[in-house]
A and B are shown apart, each in its own frame.
Chain A
Amino acid sequence: MTDTTADIRRQIDALLAAPLFSTAPPEREERLLELLRSELTYACARSPRLRHYFAAWPIDFRTADRIADLPYLPVGSFKTDPPLTLVDPEKVVRTVSSSATTGQTPSRVALDAETSRRMVKGVTGIMRDFIGPRRRPYLVIDAPETLRSETEIGARGAAIQGLRPFAIDVVCCLKLGSNGTLVLREDVLLDFIETWRDQEILVYGFTYVVWQHFVAPLQAKGVKLAMPKARLLHSGGWKRLQDQAVTRDTFRAGVAEVLGCLEERVLDFYGMVENIGIVYPDCEHGNKHVPAFGDVIVRDPLTLGPVAAGQEGLVQVCSALPTSFPGFLVLTDDIAQVICYDGCPCGRRGIAFRFVKRVPKVELRGCGNVETIRQRLAAA
């Protein structure tokens, strides 16, 4: 087992050190398939429950000849307490939870020191490919409290931390108000701009936080910041803004107007805590790409087989990085469209896809729907 684990570590580190987006798809599939099979074997050895689940899978992962046939976990499987882990509790250095909306149970993933290190390395490598390696002043559109917890951190905190390697000075321009809501610290913001006005600046915030607590209040006051060299990254999904009828175009235009920069400098990236160490920024052609240590399979909801280029389906994310929790192959509740399986004009190899929407809330339908009654009774 120790040899196996050491071999897995070696393979992961080799992938992390390799060029991220230049491997030809067949070669990537071959390398990743072998590693993922080893990781599933490792998971079986560490978790009887996972071994049991994988054993019921219609295709034996040990003989599977493509990543699409390997057993995956639905994202809802991570909403357990305690979280699904593959390491002893004393090895867990941090637990990261997802940004569940009110009333929903968040996903929780346990990180050991190694997985945590790989997470930082993975995200840093990907972001470097999109925004360059330079360190720069970092404006965080969030409150300092989001970053404080040592052992338990949310998706927002994790995303903010993930960009720290690119920062020389970190400033949070929001604070928690007396009723717990986020409030813009205009004095801090203006000081930051005054100090770094002519520099290349990195700005990050969760999509809805950027809009509700940064763009909207500044627009309301007619404030336009002179930050032409700002590059704003945002993530976390559109659901809350869709409820307010804020489209992607409205968002980009609003951010660019307030920051005083070009819309091209507003970069949306897709990511989730269960897919640790991988983020999916839009390339200059509006597509998302996967690094050498991961993959994305878009599955037809009718067959669960991979869709053809141009079609939409359920997104499955794959990552070779985690060894502290079973986040190797995760079926998400998101819908994406495959643009092509190779040949994006940006030059990045492999699948190019676009996020389309979240799967609408899973509800039982029709006259057979008794779950809501049961839930209500249980809550009473």
Chain B
Amino acid sequence: MPDPVQTVESVEEILGRARRLREQALRSDLSPLQVIEILERWGDALRGPTVDSIPGVPFLRLWLRRGTLEPVVVRELGTEGLRAQWRAEHGIRLRTFPLGVVGHWPAGNIEIQPMLSLTCALLGGNGSLVRIPSGLVAQSRAIIEKLCDVDTEGVLTERIFLVAFDHERADLQRAMASAVDGAMIWGGDEAVTQIRSLPFPNWARIAVFGPRLSVAAMDEESWREPQGRHIWCQRIARDVWQFDQQACSSPQTLFLEQGADADVADFVTTLAEAFRTENRLHPRVTIHPATTSAICLSRASWLLQDVGHSAVFPASPDWTILVGKSSDLPAPTQGRTLSVLIVESLLDAIVKFDGTVQTLGLAIADGDKEVGLTQAAGRSGVDRIVKLGRMHVFGSPWDGTDMIRPMVRLVRHVPSADMRS
């Protein structure tokens, strides 16, 4: 079996691959239902020593389920869209068609992101040309090999080309951009700005996801009682640990509503215990020295800044909890560093969000209060509002935009003769 992640050195190779992917995608119809059938088998196959240790694989398995994907397709493309059929609407007919070939530029920090991105384009019937970041080649290879195992007829694998090349090869980046009909770009500010400036064809549709950060919020009722507090703290710890707090959906700050009947010190003790437990279950195996430096500096800066601040952390850089009173969003540190900011009212913090917040993870006991906070969060630029503990569950819409629809064309047919009923 050829290596499913190919290293490419020439512009011609990229252009040739893109041409073949387009031909393959446009040669015949491939309905989302057919795609889902194979994706579900892929999800079932994503087990075993080569993939079990890859962060995010459980999320990917969840995403690839029929029960997850069908509702997404129906919501974005309609019931007929699921079968790639025409639908009648006020005397006209509408149907989705693929753009052709979609280029994917996933971020280098989320191991499963290349796969999440390409599944969206495949569901639209497109071919996918995916640039795999250098740090994700081995993981991407292991995951895609599982697809090769289940897609024996090559229905999907022939529509996918995973390519690896040095990110500084501007000629290959330009070639890839010029050869695609759509682009899904994920990543940090620098990467996104750089990729958006590539010479895409005028007709290319471009969807950008990130850079964003995420925040958690808890009302006093949720953490006042020891049992509830314990459960919510475990959920926060899970959200912080997943993807090593580098994802746009990772909480960097927790706004904690102050109450008359609960002691913040109890909360911090419970949260620290949850962090210790999560760290025992999922210890780091590697860390960039720059991250260690940033963690140490965040601890010192926070405590030296104000004697009203406090912090809990071990001697290692494993995790850090910074505690203070503020409704302002602090600069994120990442590296499992959570700022816990005590506020009189969660609304005070949420109305200050400035559009950088992607996901708001909530633990709110009072339903009416949650409705009000959700309304305020939406107005303040938040695109996802979810339960704490589920901040990374991938779903559509993401970053406030659909996942499949941006990569399909909606063709309008006005019949030349009157339509028969």
Q: Is B332 touching A74 in the complex (CB atoms < 8 A)?
A: no
Interface string of A355-380 (1 = CB under 8 A from B): 00001111111111111111000000
| A368/B247 contact (C-beta < 8 A), A77-B304, A301-B288, A301-B289 known | yes
Report B302-319 residues with CB < 8 Å from chain A CB: 303-304, 307, 309-317
Q: Which of A111-119, A181-189, A288-296, A302-310 contacts B (4 or more CB under 8 A)?
A: A302-310
Q: Which of B72-80, B186-194, B225-233, B340-348 contacts A (4 or more CB under 8 A)?
A: B186-194
Interface string of A73-116 (1 = CB under 8 A from B): 11011000000100000000000000000000000000000000
| Residue tally, chain A, CB below 8 Å to B | 41
Q: Is B294 touching A366 in the complex (CB atoms < 8 A)?
A: no
Q: Is B107 touching A364 in the complex (CB atoms < 8 A)?
A: no
- A48 within 8 Å of B by Cβ? yes
- B414 within 8 Å of A by Cβ? no
Q: Which of B120-128, B146-154, B207-215 contacts A (4 or more CB under 8 A)?
A: B207-215
A303 to B292, CA, bound (A): 9
Q: Is A50 touching B307 in the complex (CB atoms < 8 A)?
A: no
| A304/B290 contact (C-beta < 8 A), A367-B212, A369-B188, A372-B188 known | no
Q: Is B109 touching A314 in the complex (CB atoms < 8 A)?
A: no
Interface string of B169-188 (1 = CB under 8 A from A): 00000000000000000111
- A59 within 8 Å of B by Cβ? yes
Shortest B321–chain A CB gap in Å is 11
> B residues within 8 A CB of A314?
289, 292-293
- A369 is contacted by which of B211, B284, B307, B314 (Cβ under 8 Å)? B211
- A56 within 8 Å of B by Cβ? yes
Q: Is A301 touching B292 in the complex (CB atoms < 8 A)?
A: yes
> B residues within 8 A CB of A77?
297, 300-301, 304
| Residue tally, chain B, CB below 8 Å to A | 54
Q: Is A360 touching B290 in the complex (CB atoms < 8 A)?
A: yes
- A221 within 8 Å of B by Cβ? no
- B250 within 8 Å of A by Cβ? yes
Q: Is A362 touching B290 in the complex (CB atoms < 8 A)?
A: yes
- B332 is contacted by which of A69, A305, A371 (Cβ under 8 Å)? A371
A372 to B190, CA, bound (A): 8
Interface string of A297-323 (1 = CB under 8 A from B): 000011111000000011000000000
- A283 within 8 Å of B by Cβ? no
Q: Is A59 touching B315 in the complex (CB atoms < 8 A)?
A: yes
- A305 is contacted by which of B252, B290, B316, B331 (Cβ under 8 Å)? B316
Q: Is B290 touching A368 in the complex (CB atoms < 8 A)?
A: no
> B residues within 8 A CB of A36?
none
Q: Is A366 touching B356 in the complex (CB atoms < 8 A)?
A: no
Residue of A nearest to B209 (CB): A367
Shortest B56–chain A CB gap in Å is 12
| A370/B213 contact (C-beta < 8 A), A52-B303, A74-B297 known | yes
- A128 within 8 Å of B by Cβ? no
A366 to B189, CA, bound (A): 8
Q: Is A74 touching B293 in the complex (CB atoms < 8 A)?
A: yes
A331 to B296, CA, bound (A): 9
Shortest A50–chain B CB gap in Å is 7
Across chains A and B, which 6 residue pairs bring their CB atoms closest together, nearest first?
A366-B109, A369-B188, A367-B210, A367-B248, A301-B292, A372-B189
B residues near A (Cβ < 8 Å) are 107-110, 113, 186-190, 209-214, 245-248, 250, 252, 284-294, 296-297, 299-301, 303-304, 307, 309-317, 331-332, 334, 356
Identify 15 new A-B residue pairs, CB closer than 8 A, beyond the known A366-B188, A367-B109.
A49-B304, A52-B307, A53-B304, A56-B311, A72-B296, A76-B297, A301-B288, A301-B317, A362-B297, A366-B107, A366-B211, A367-B211, A367-B246, A369-B211, A370-B189
24 A-B pairs whose Cβ atoms sit less than 8 Å apart in the complex: A52-B307, A56-B299, A56-B310, A58-B313, A76-B297, A77-B304, A84-B304, A301-B289, A301-B291, A305-B316, A314-B293, A359-B289, A362-B290, A364-B332, A366-B109, A367-B187, A367-B188, A367-B209, A367-B210, A368-B212, A368-B214, A368-B245, A369-B188, A374-B356
